[in-house]
Amino acid sequence: MVLETTFDRLAPAEGARIAVLGGRGGIGRVLVDALTGAGCQVAVLDLAASLERHPVPLGVLAVPCDALDDGSLAGAIDRLDEAWGGLDGLVNLCGFAAAKLPVDQTDHADWDEVVSGNLRAAFTSSRAARRLLDKGRAASLVHISSGIATLGTPGYGPYAASKAGVIALTKTLAQEWAPSIRVNAVAPSAVDTAFLRGGTGRGREDGPPERLDLDAYEQRVPLGRIATPADIVGPILFLLGPASAYLTGQTLHVNGGLLMP
């Protein structure tokens, strides 16, 4: 069987039903704008505080949700089911890092919090959304990992371990859910968002990064600059859209050449 693909559209089809978990962060806000601009139906699932801090654009469905609370997540999925009756795509942007500390100075509580905020959130959101993705058209699930999962960076032990787990989960789901649902990941390098300053709602959202010597970092990147949210949004749109119809279980590394696995 030969499937024809039109390459004049790399984003999801017009009218596609896309949910963005963590959609009020720096990458999420740019992604939501891009999806609505492409004519998609968009829902943002995020903490109530994040939705209040960054209200969604007109026409976007806002669903308060805590990805670590099974009841909250189930309620959010029920609301999407009532509104749309299915999902054509889900993007999981959940994640954060704790203070930079060597592994042997990281306590159990901080380790568990970071692993939950990254890996458990990926697991719970995937499992909860499965029934709606099953009813979608050419459904695609995109998780966000990190180049740190492959490269490793001192001070980011729990973050690196949890994001590596996201890649492993992506590969497993890609096999378990094929052929009806494609599952892929995007692994960015550092992106100039609030994450580098503590995270949306956790610290400053502007000003110089607290977690990165920007000048030294940019000198190491072959393309000579830090990533912007738009650099990450393009690959996400591609993985949600028809031009990536034969991609599943893959991780796209988006890092300006910093990491070439």
Asked if residue 242 lies in contact with residue 13, where contact means CB atoms within 8 angstroms, the answer is yes
- What pLDDT is stored for residue 208 in this prediction? 65
Please provide the DSSP assignment of 159-210 as one string.
HHHHHHHHHHHHHHHHHHHTTTEEEEEEEE--BSSGGGGT-TTTS-SSSS-S
- What pLDDT is stored for residue 195 in this prediction? 74
Asked if residue 165 lies in contact with residue 121, where contact means CB atoms within 8 angstroms, the answer is no
- What pLDDT is stored for residue 7 in this prediction? 66
- What pLDDT is stored for residue 10 in this prediction? 83
Please give the chain's pLDDT, 261 residues, in tens.
444 555 667 899 999 999 999 999 999 999 999 999 999 999 999 999 999 999 999 999 999 999 999 999 999 999 999 999 999 999 999 988 888 899 999 999 999 999 999 999 999 999 999 999 999 999 999 999 999 999 989 999 999 999 999 999 999 999 999 999 999 999 999 999 877 765 554 455 666 666 678 899 999 999 999 999 999 999 999 999 999 999 999 999 999 999 998
CATH 3.40.50.720 at 17-254, yes or no? yes
- What pLDDT is stored for residue 5 in this prediction? 53
Burial class (CB in 10 A: 0-12, 13-18, 19+), 99: exposed
Q: Sign of the C-alpha dihedral, residues 132, 199, 145, 244?
A: positive
